[in-house]
Amino acid sequence: MTEQQGQQQPSGLAVCYRHQDRETGIRCTRCERPICPECMISASVGYQCPACVRGASAAGRGSAPRTLAGGPLVADTRLVTKIILALNVAVFIAVLSAGDRLVTDLGMLGHAWDPSRGGWDFIGVADGEWYRMLTSAFLHQEIWHVGFNMLGLWFLGPQLEAALGRLRFTALYLISALAGSALSYVLAAPNQLSLGASGAIFGLFGATAVLMRRMNYDMRPIGILLAINLLITFTWSGIAWQAHIGGLVAGAAIAYGMVHAPRARRTPVQVLTCAAVLAVIVIACVVRTQQLVG
């Protein structure tokens, strides 16, 4: 086949003309070459490949390149992923240096008595320490824990960052982390201390599944990987399954709103989607707080 037509895979999908290891069901509206999320540039109608956009820009007909979800196209599609990874590793090193006190002060905790503070001093989200819902998503105590989570981040993050853009990817990650903490707060025992980026990582799993469906990719790889992780979630002891499910649902919902938003109202729809998920998180946490201390 010619380069324009693309090579056909056994699955029936073509491969990106710039990345031969990536299957895709989307083609450039100008030259009809197959393009993957990293190569897609939003146009007035459909998506165009980088070569066609460069040609249009040179002729004075082009507009600013955009990702699949409408974000600005950038050269480094791993920047936010690398920053998040670096933050997790830095906090892990801090935990190794500071010991359990840092985990107790920043981990996800609903409502519990801290004997180290004396008297009847309670700590947790219900006592106004709302920051725990986010700081806990950057905390790890074990090398295997941070290792597996960062491997998942590096595996899933760059593709989502390329398809969504930096700002949208950051929102997806952070809101998924908050959703994981929120479901833990609502369903787990109030004195159960939990930590880790797993809620956010499961949000990336959910978003990846939505993106692959949107791009007509073969869903089997992500389906198998997600099934394995869910099996581990519900069979291994010591895992806060609530955080995993909360992040998964939020990540899928946010990604759906981002990649399916109508082009003419894309940004408002995406903002409203994120706001709606945040509203659910806030309402659930307020209700839970009233149950614990009201």
Would you name the residues annotated as active-site residues?
198, 244
Sequence-ordered strand ranges (E) for 126-275: none
| Contact call for residues 269 and 256 (beta carbons, < 8 A) | no
Rounded to whole angstroms, the Cα distance separating 119 from 7 reads 71
Among 43, 35, 45, 29, CA closest to 13:
35
CB contact set of 46 (below 8 Å; sequence gap of 6+): 28, 29
* Interior angle at CA 232, CA 230 and CA 233, nearest 5: 60
Strand, coil or helix: 289: helix
Residue type at position 258 = M
